[in-house]
């Protein structure tokens, strides 16, 4: 930890003597024992107010050499250090202040801001929370906490904190602006438009991206209220010069509203989109999913078309926006059981996010996927012994006793009934071989096709279909975010009997 050097008391007394000689009022601001520290503090505050931060810091340091146990002086010193970007020293000073007086909300707030600036998320979050515990009306702490949680992608908690901040201080444009963005992420479109309008009234003009988001929010809200055609007709006027292509608006409205559970509105939009392109397998399948039509797996023409289109953006969307980390988590689970496989299969390998995780665990790694676009990305990434374009079950059925590890991250979500796939995987594995897989979790005892077009499975369904396997472990985990909320799932490790 940074050490703060206070001046020698003798040096401070010379300074005090000089000040007494040059400033007529100085001698009057002493405490009842004639101690000059309060006068030095006053002087420091004057320097600080006038922007002379370095001089203010030296004055507070001098005062502290006389009364080093004064928490307020340490806090003042921390503030001026912080104002001159001496964050490490600010941190040391504010910690000292809190050691002496741990119940001062203002000091915790300063620690939080300094921690935030130093990107010390843990310190900042803890300090914001302590500030709020000591002073629930501290709007700046709610705002700081909300923005920090926003960066951590804890969207709902972030929005709750920011809403409190806005309630306490409705005139803070930054807080309103952040509430607008978070409301959009969490599908509160009316709240989003309201907050952006408040931000625009309070601060400068909204930037173009925010204006586009506001136009989308108003349009999506009208759609949720059952006015889909009207919303589309009004869109251009609402968005003005920021308008986007209507095809992009309906595409995103469909996926955002279905993910948020507004199925009637999503279905109405899906029908409009399918009427425009009746042969599009993606539009057809996703509308079927939203309408709740029953199916035993996603059609392969949908998978190919969808992932071929999605491939170039897949990695950034999944790993950054949606916080997807299944390949690493699953490979770590596998490595706890075994680390020396002969032949590994990455089933539904996609762009190859699992390659780097699996490579150290075995001699050869085959990647199989039905989408040429995804395979092209996997090829670029490297790490596979071979990449094969094939349908998963068909490939497994041809690969008798070939693998000692089958790895399927986020691929089983495109299968409904798991029995054919598990049977084929058992055939492709040697006895004792491992099958690592992830599923999205459904309640009940079967599987369901969700409006997202992905299937969710119950553990009961997995147990009744995995009869060729022992279940080594099934770990609860959030697979990714959807509409700003975590999607619950399982990482499962099976052993071939
Ligand atoms: C969500 S991505 C996951 C990709 C990769 N496993 C990962 O974790 O990043 C699902 C992948 O499974 C592939 N897939 C889905 N159904 C398939 C099937 N029946 N046969 C082969 N590949 C399939 C898709 O093409 C897509 O690349």
Out of 296, 414, 422, 438, give the residue to mutate to test ligand 1, the one with the largest number of ligand atoms within 8 Å of its CB.
414
Residue nearest to ligand 1 atom 23, measured at CA:
348
Residue nearest to ligand 1 atom 8, measured at CA:
409
Q: Which CB contacts under 8 angstroms, 24+ apart, belong to 213-217?
A: 213/180, 213/181, 213/184, 214/180, 215/239, 215/240, 215/242, 215/243, 216/184, 216/189, 216/249, 216/252, 216/253, 217/183, 217/184, 217/189, 217/190, 217/192, 217/193
Q: Which atom of ligand 1 is nearest to the CA of 306?
A: 25
Q: Which of 248, 277, 293 is the last residue of a domain?
A: 293
| Binding site membership of 414 for ligand 1 (Cβ less than 6 Å) | yes
CA distance 14 to 204: 50
CA distance 216 to 238: 9
Instruction: Identify the band that residue 15 occupies on the pLDDT scale cut at 50, 70 and 90.
Output: confident
Q: What is the pLDDT of residue 17?
A: 81
Residues 459 and 352 in one domain: yes
Residues 285 and 331 in one domain: no
Residue 220 lies in a domain: yes
Residue 317 lies in a domain: no
Q: What is the pLDDT of residue 385?
A: 98
Count other Cβ atoms within 10 Å, centred on residue 119: 9
CATH number for the domain spanning 424: value is 3.40.50.150
pLDDT tens digits along 122-162: 999 999 999 999 999 999 999 999 999 999 999 999 999 99
3-state secondary structure of 449: strand
Residues 273 and 327 in one domain: no
Residues 13 and 158 in one domain: yes
| pLDDT at residue 497 tops 90 | yes
| pLDDT at residue 261 tops 70 | yes
Q: What is the pLDDT of residue 18?
A: 83
| Binding site membership of 349 for ligand 1 (Cβ less than 6 Å) | yes
**Of 392, 395, 424, whose CA–CA distance to 410 is shortest?**
392
| Binding site membership of 297 for ligand 1 (Cβ less than 6 Å) | no
Q: What is the pLDDT of residue 202?
A: 93
Q: Mean pLDDT over residues 237-264, rounded? A: 96
Tokens representing 61?
């340091």
3-state secondary structure of 436: strand
Q: What is the pLDDT of residue 113?
A: 96
Dist. CA 72 → ligand 1 center (Å): 60
Dist. CA 325 → ligand 1 center (Å): 15
Residue 162 lies in a domain: yes
Please state, in angstroms and as integers, the Cα–Cα distance from residue 144 to each residue in 109, 120, 181, 195, 384, following that order: 9, 13, 16, 18, 45
Residues 55 and 146 in one domain: yes
> Residue 483's domain spans which residues?
323-496
Residue 84 lies in a domain: yes
Residues 272 and 421 in one domain: no
Count other Cβ atoms within 10 Å, centred on residue 238: 18
Residues 30 and 153 in one domain: yes
Residues 122 and 267 in one domain: no
Dist. CA 346 → ligand 1 center (Å): 10
Dist. CA 408 → ligand 1 center (Å): 8
Residue 141 lies in a domain: yes
Dist. CA 270 → ligand 1 center (Å): 24
Out of 329, 411, 420, 435, give the residue to mutate to test ligand 1, the one with the largest number of ligand atoms within 8 Å of its CB.
411
Residue 126 lies in a domain: yes
| pLDDT at residue 262 tops 80 | yes
| Binding site membership of 370 for ligand 1 (Cβ less than 6 Å) | yes
Residue nearest to ligand 1 atom 9, measured at CA:
353
Residue nearest to ligand 1 atom 10, measured at CA:
411
Dist. CA 455 → ligand 1 center (Å): 13
Tokens representing 73?
């002086």
Residues 6 or more apart whose CB falls under 8 angstroms from that of 173 comprise: 198, 199, 202, 203
| Binding site membership of 479 for ligand 1 (Cβ less than 6 Å) | no
Q: What is the pLDDT of residue 29?
A: 67
Q: What is the pLDDT of residue 28?
A: 67
| Binding site membership of 410 for ligand 1 (Cβ less than 6 Å) | yes
Residues 123 and 27 in one domain: yes
Q: What is the pLDDT of residue 135?
A: 98
Q: What is the pLDDT of residue 36?
A: 83
Residues 272 and 361 in one domain: no
Q: Mean pLDDT over residues 195-216, rounded? A: 94
Residue 189 lies in a domain: no
CA distance 125 to 109: 10
Dist. CA 411 → ligand 1 center (Å): 5
H/E/C letters for each residue in 337-355? HCCCEEEEEEECCCCCCCH
* Lowest-confidence region among 39-43, 250-254, 366-370: 39-43
Q: What is the pLDDT of residue 270?
A: 98
Q: What is the pLDDT of residue 27?
A: 65
Where do the H-state alpha helices sit in 50-104? 53-66, 71-83, 87-100
Residues 287 and 336 in one domain: no
The angle subtended at Cα 396 by Cα 391 and Cα 399, nearest 5°, is: 125
Dist. CA 301 → ligand 1 center (Å): 13
| Binding site membership of 358 for ligand 1 (Cβ less than 6 Å) | no
The overall average pLDDT reported for the chain is: 95
Q: What is the pLDDT of residue 484?
A: 87
Residues 164 and 257 in one domain: no
Q: Mean pLDDT over residues 367-389, rounded? A: 98
Q: Which CB contacts under 8 angstroms, 24+ apart, belong to 251-259?
A: 252/216, 253/216, 253/219, 253/220, 253/223, 254/286, 254/290, 255/286, 256/187, 256/220, 256/483, 257/220, 257/223, 257/224, 258/286, 258/289, 258/290, 258/451, 258/452, 259/187, 259/451, 259/452, 259/482, 259/483
CATH number for the domain spanning 60: value is 1.25.40.10
Q: Mean pLDDT over residues 430-436, rounded? A: 98
| Binding site membership of 326 for ligand 1 (Cβ less than 6 Å) | yes
Residue nearest to ligand 1 atom 26, measured at CA:
350
* Lowest-confidence region among 26-40, 64-78, 99-113: 26-40
| Binding site membership of 139 for ligand 1 (Cβ less than 6 Å) | no
CA distance 319 to 482: 13
Count of domains observed in the chain: 3
Q: What is the pLDDT of residue 35?
A: 79
Residue 304 lies in a domain: no
């Amino acid at each position: 930890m940074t050490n703060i050097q206070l001046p020698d008391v003798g040096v401070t007394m010379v300074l005090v003597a000089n000040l007494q000689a040059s400033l007529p009022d100085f001698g009057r601001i002493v405490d009842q024992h004639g101690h000059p520290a309060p006068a030095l503090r006053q002087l420091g505050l004057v320097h600080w107010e006038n922007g002379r931060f370095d001089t203010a810091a030296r004055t507070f340091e001098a005062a502290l050499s006389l009364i080093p146990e004064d928490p307020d002086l340490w806090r003042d010193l921390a503030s001026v250090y912080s104002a001159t970007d001496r964050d490490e020293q600010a941190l040391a000073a504010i910690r000292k202040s809190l050691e002496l007086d741990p119940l001062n909300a203002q000091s915790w707030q300063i620690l939080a801001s300094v921690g935030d600036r130093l990107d010390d998320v843990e310190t900042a979050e803890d300090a914001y929370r302590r500030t709020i515990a000591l002073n629930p009306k501290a709007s700046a702490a709610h705002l700081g906490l909300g923005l920090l949680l926003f960066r951590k992608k804890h969207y709902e908690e972030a929005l709750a904190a920011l809403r409190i901040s806005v309630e306490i201080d409705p005139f803070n444009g930054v807080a309103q602006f952040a509430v607008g963005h978070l409301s959009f992420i969490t599908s509160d479109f009316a709240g989003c438009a309201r907050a952006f309008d408040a931000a625009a009234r309070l601060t400068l003009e909204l930037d173009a991206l925010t204006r586009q988001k506001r136009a989308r929010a108003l349009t999506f809200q009208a759609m949720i209220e059952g006015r889909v055609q009207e919303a589309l007709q009004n869109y251009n006027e609402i968005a003005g010069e920021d308008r986007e292509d209507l095809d992009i608006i309906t595409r995103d409205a469909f996926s955002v509203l279905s993910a948020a559970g507004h199925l009637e509105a999503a279905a109405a939009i899906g029908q409009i989109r399918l009427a425009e392109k009746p042969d599009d397998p993606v539009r057809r399948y996703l509308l079927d999913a939203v309408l709740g039509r029953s199916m035993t797996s996603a059609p392969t023409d949908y998978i190919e078309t969808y992932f071929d289109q999605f491939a170039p953006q897949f990695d950034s969307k999944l790993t950054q926006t949606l916080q997807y980390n299944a390949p690493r988590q699953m490979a770590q689970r596998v490595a706890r059981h075994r680390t020396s496989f002969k032949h590994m299969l990455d089933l539904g390998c996609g762009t190859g996010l699992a390659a780097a995780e699996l490579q150290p665990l075995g001699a050869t790694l085959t990647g199989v996927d039905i989408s040429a676009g995804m395979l092209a990305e996997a090829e670029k990434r490297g790490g596979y012994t071979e990449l094969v374009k094939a349908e998963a079950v068909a490939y497994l059925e041809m690969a008798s006793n070939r693998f000692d590890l089958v790895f399927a991250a986020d691929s089983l979500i495109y299968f409904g009934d798991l029995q054919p796939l598990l049977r084929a995987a058992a055939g492709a594995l040697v006895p004792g071989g491992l099958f690592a897989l992830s599923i999205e979790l459904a309640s009940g005892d079967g599987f369901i096709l969700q409006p997202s077009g992905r299937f969710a499975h119950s553990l009961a369904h997995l147990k009744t279909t995995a009869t060729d396997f022992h279940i080594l472990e099934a770990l609860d985990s959030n697979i990714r975010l959807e509409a700003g909320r975590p999607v619950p799932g399982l990482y499962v490790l099976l052993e071939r009997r």
